[in-house]
Structure 1
């Protein structure tokens, strides 16, 4: 009984600590004033994506995430994927957006690396060159096979994080590592509670994204309780925490081409 109480108290302390740190981070990342509305919040380019014209000969794939708008930015992020095949000079940006009727999967509704309503995005993963070129058809197929194109629920899902996690499962070469505060990334239907984690490598048990456990190549060990993720990566060492995503290293991963391939 004492052990259970200690474990519960420890989990509560982790949650409260993560929540406080997340509040500070959300304020720091947001480039808009509190009195501004979403309609006037910054949505221009953050200058993170390689210039597509200067890199016309090179295929590029990137995944971004930024704190969501309003109070939800304290507890969750909004992700999207962009890609550009070799020989093209424009990016394709895909994401799931809640508002508006019809299909929730949207194409090119915002700049490729744009601020998400005032919040500066963070690069989660990048691939360039032949490897990126090879995975682009797989990414397109994953987008087309997304199981919930007309459905959106902020919690527990399916939502924008569920969409990007689906792509990661279908394209393991992406080596996607979604942060622990990507609420909805572990959403699975009750008919399919066991399968691949968002990285596409490992195993996951998840009940609607509310409770479960993940053992993944990129995720490490992650326990989900009431939609809150706590876990760790062994190498490199990193704590995975709710609200703030994690501590120990930056979430950014890069797998760029050699200079000879540029």
Structure 2
């Protein structure tokens, strides 16, 4: 039994704790805003300031979050561009007040001075067909009341976006592995299969779990950290660093 415990402890250290410690060390060498008041929240220029009216679009965006937690986690959000509109609608979850916010920030705004990236985007008729389903998933998010936000293990901002991605699997992605909180089971089920039967999830309220399937590849989750293999886009999933492609 002691030998088994030692092997398990070594596995956890090598797969999760050591990469997290290295990511934290790297993060501490970077320059960051001292606090949220000093941070830059303005548009990053990643999205067109004036989108074409005839284009529908969906963007999944993310940026490193603030403070020391930025070493290990992203903050993610959704941006929708409806057909005929010349503006974007951004949806986030935040940790104060009512969690779900619409257009509280610029669609491509920096997050704690950290420039966002587009994780995934869909355009045209496909986007137009999915937007109503995304809006329904946003409306049905079960942790939208004041006080529902929990920074760790969730439900947090990444739990919200992951909830939408699971509810609308046709979007075709999972959040990056360093989006801590994404695996919190917002549907309340410890075992779940996505509606298109291409992904399986088993998770103990965000503390530990596994995922497997076409979108997830193979993942092991421990205390919000994720290690695994990306199969469709070959690469490793490394705690703190996210996806490292081959």
What is the TM-score when the length of structure 1 is the normalising length?
Answer: 0.84
In the comparison of the two structures, how many residue pairs are matched? 242
CA 1:159–1:191 in structure 2 vs 1: closer, same or farther (change >3 Å)? closer
Alignment root-mean-square deviation, CA: 2.4
| 2:185 counterpart residue number | 188
Asked whether the 8 Å contact 2:19–2:238 carries over to 1, the reply is: no
Seen in structure 2, the aligned counterparts of structure 1 residues 62 and 199 have a Cα distance that, compared at 3 Å, is farther
Task: State the shift of 1:176 in Å.
Answer: 2.3
Match of 1:73 in 2: 70
- 2:18 equivalent to 1:21: no
Give the TM-score of the pair, scaled to structure 2.
0.89
| Other structure's SS at 2:211 match | strand
Counterpart-to-counterpart distance in 1, 2:160 and 2:40: 24
Q: Does 1:213 align with 2:210?
A: yes
C-alpha deviation, 1:107, in angstroms: 0.4
| Corresponding position: 1:239 with 2:240 | no
Deviation at 1:18, TM superposition (A): 4.0
For 1:45, the equivalent position in structure 2 comes to: 43
Q: Gapped runs of 5+ residues in structure 2? A: none
Change over 3 Å in CA distance of 1:199–1:169 after alignment to 2: farther
Task: Measure, in 2, the Cα distance between the counterparts of 1:63 and 1:76.
Answer: 16
Is 1:202 aligned to residue 199 of structure 2? yes
- Residues 197 and 215 of structure 1 are in contact (CA less than 8 Å); yes or no, is this contact kept in structure 2? no
Q: Per-residue deviation at 1:173? A: 1.4
Change (3 A) 1:49 1:201: farther
- SS, match of residue 133 in structure 1: helix
Partner of 1:166: 163
CA change 1:173–1:191 in 2 (3 A) is closer
> Secondary structure at the residue paired with 1:235?
coil
Deviates more, 1:234-243 or 1:166-175: 234-243
